[in-house]
Amino acid sequence: MLHTVLIWLVVAAFFAAGVINAIGAPAGKSNFVRWGYPSWWCYLTGGMEILTAVLVALPAGRAAGLILGAVIVAAAVLTVVRRREFSHLAPLGVFVALLALAEISS
């Protein structure tokens, strides 16, 4: 039961983040540009986050989805640490915890 709840929390978190990034709101775009990425990078990131949510939701794709999610979060952590924007680490910590707990509980 706990494993199922954790999996669906991962799905919801990545889907929500993906939709927010894929919308391409000006604040999000400006963050990506400020971090050195092209302005369209938010769409790519959003798409990968939505793909992560879909893969994690499907038992056959769960392992690949968890790996993709971990890669996305690792890249985000490296980006914000490199740019010294530590305020972004708290939400990323939630993603790290969800991914770790989902993997441990399986």
The whole-number pLDDT of residue 104 equals 87
* Each residue's pLDDT tens digit, 47-77: 999 999 999 999 999 999 999 999 999 999 9
* Prediction pTM value: 0.92
Give the CA angle between residues 79, 65, 73 to the nearest 5°: 15
Domain count, the chain: 1
The whole-number pLDDT of residue 17 equals 95
Asked whether 63 and 99 are in contact (CB, 8 A), the reply is no
Answer yes or no: is pLDDT of 106 > 90: no
With cut-offs at 50, 70 and 90, classify the pLDDT of residue 8.
very high
The whole-number pLDDT of residue 45 equals 97
What is the average pLDDT across 19-35? 92
What is the average pLDDT across 75-97? 94
Answer yes or no: is pLDDT of 38 > 80: yes
| Helix (H), strand (E), coil (C) string for the chain | CHHHHHHHHHHHHHHHHHHHHHHCCHHHHHHHHHCCCCCCHHHHHHHHHHHHHHHHHCHHHHHHHHHHHHHHHHHHHHHHHHCCCHHHHHHHHHHHHHHHHHHHCC
- By residue range, what is the domain housing residue 75? 2-104
φ/ψ (deg, to 5) at 13: -65, -45
